[in-house]
Structure formats: structure tokens, C-alpha cells
Structure 1
Amino acid sequence: MKAIILFGHGARDARWREPFDRLATLWRAQHADTPVELAFLEMMQPSLEEAVSTLASGGATQITIVPVFFGQGGHLRNDFPVLLNACREQFPQLTLSATPAVGDDLAVLQAIVDFGARAL
């Protein structure tokens, strides 16, 4: 079974998480057959390891991690690979893959441009 993790940075302010919760809700409404979990690098739960564990216990065998970051900064270049490799070691029965940061995708950038244009 395939599943997806939407991976964000995390913040001290609990309201920062609200768009991520809405994103997961949208995913569930549009892709009900593919489980989704949120995960955060720091300051919020669940961690990447916890999200992988939850999906694995639900029967997932292939998990794609989508970093919901605008760019490939230090966290994605340095911290994320360490976390991903640790999960691969802890869950060798799973296929874990990751996409580039969402901000690297032209369609995402275009959606932001379109949003700005509608605001004019």
C-alpha cells in the first residue's frame, strides 16, 4: 500500500500548523485511498519517525515524503537526509522515497504567482 507524508519544519506557535492540517484534509478528500500523515522536523509532533511508524502499522509498504518547504536550505540538504536514512534503517521492510521541496516545483510557484495576481 502506498502512503504519503507531508513534511514541514515545525514552529513554536501551534497556529503555524493550521495550513498543514488543511493540506492533509484536502489530500484525504481527494485521495481517500492513499493514507497521509503530517510530520515535522522540529518543535511539533509527529516526528518523521513517528509518522512512518503510524503508516507502517496501518499497512503502508511504500511511503513518499513530500517536503513542504520553499527551497533546499540547510534543513533539507543536511538534517532531512539523516532523518530519512534513520527511518530507512529502522523500517527496512518499507520503501521510503522523497520528492524535492514543493517550492522547487514550477506548478507550485505558478500557483503563488496566480494567487498574487488575483490579489491585485
Structure 2
Amino acid sequence: MSQQRALILFAHGARAASWAAPFERLRDLTQARQPGVRVVLAFLELMQPRLPEVTAALIADGVSDITVVPVFLGQGGHVLRDLPLMVDELRAAHPQAAITVVEAAGENEAVLNALSDYCVNALGHPSPD
């Protein structure tokens, strides 16, 4: 039986395959914390899988409730313009599914506090030089 809910971690993508490693770790950590939800990665460009293909595959597998988390530090053009257009197209193509988009990860107070903690803690570590 397939899971009815999914969480798509949506990232930009890059030419270097190694760039995806932290996002894969984030996916795995999130999946471990939410075993009843499918957690998958999707990319805007330069990497696969892309958001439309991931969404279509999830819906074909019986997922009816999808939350998209833009794993971007800020709300630049991709989050403000490109993502809403893509999601509008996905909603039109898949009206049977509920697709929700939340704020960019870097706009979330808890994420900013965690990054600030990391930056402050960096002061206690010797320089690599």
C-alpha cells in the first residue's frame, strides 16, 4: 500500500553531482523522522528528478497530499516566480491532489536560528589556515 502523503524537498540543482549530497542527507534525516510520509527530492534545473516528474510519479502511486518545501536560503526569483508557475501547472494537471507550498527554508525563523547557532559556534573553532 502506498503512502497518501508526500514531502518534496525542492532544491535548485547544480552541474556537480556532489552538490546534491547535503540535500540527500536532509531527505534521509527527514524520512527517518516521518516514516509515514514519502520524502523525496526534486530539482528546478541541472539535476534530476525535476518537480513535474516527481509530482506525477507520486500521484500515479496514490499520493493525494503533497507538501513542497523550497530548500532555498531566500525568496529569490525561482521561489517567487518560477515555483508558483510550476505548481499552478501541476495543480491544473493533477486536480485530484492537494499540493501545498511552504515558505523557503531560509525564511523560516527556526532555520535562521539554527544557522545563527552554527555561525556563532564557528567562532569557537580554530581557523583551518
Tell me the residue number matched to 2:92: 89
Q: Which has the larger radius of gyration?
A: 2
- The 5-angstrom pairing of residues 47-86 of structure 1 reads 47-86=50-89
Correspondence for 2:127: none
Q: Distance in 2 between matches of 1:50 and 1:26?
A: 23
Give the Å deviation of 1:58.
2.5
Q: Distance in 2 between matches of 1:31 and 1:57?
A: 21
Distance 2:61 2:5 in 1: 11
* Residue 13 (structure 1) aligns with: 16
**Which of residues 43, 47, 50 in structure 2 aligns to 1:44?**
47
Counterpart residue type for residue 109 of structure 2? L
Structure 1 counterpart of 2:105, from 96, 102, 105 = 102
Q: How many residues align?
A: 120
Aligned partners of 2:60, 2:22: CA distance in 1, in Å? 26
RMSD across aligned C-alpha pairs, in angstroms? 0.9
The one of 95, 106, 112 equivalent to 2:115 is 112
- Residue 59 of structure 1 and its aligned partner are, at CA, apart by 1.8
TM-score of the superposed pair, with normalisation by structure 1: 0.95
4+ residue segments displaced more than 3 Å: none
Measured against aligned partners, the alpha-carbon deviations of 1:47-70 in whole angstroms (never above 9, x if no partner) come to 111111222122210100000011
Q: Percent identity?
A: 45
Q: TM-score, normalised by structure 2?
A: 0.89
Task: State the alpha-carbon separation in 2 of the partners of residues 104 and 34 from structure 1.
Answer: 23
Q: Secondary structure at the match of 2:48?
A: coil
Question: For 1:9-57, what per-residue CA distance to the aligned partner results, in whole angstroms no more than 9, with x for missing partners?
Answer: 1111111111110011101111111001111110011111111122212
- The alpha-carbon deviation at position 2 of structure 1 amounts to 1.7
CA distance in 2, matches of 1:26, 1:57: 25
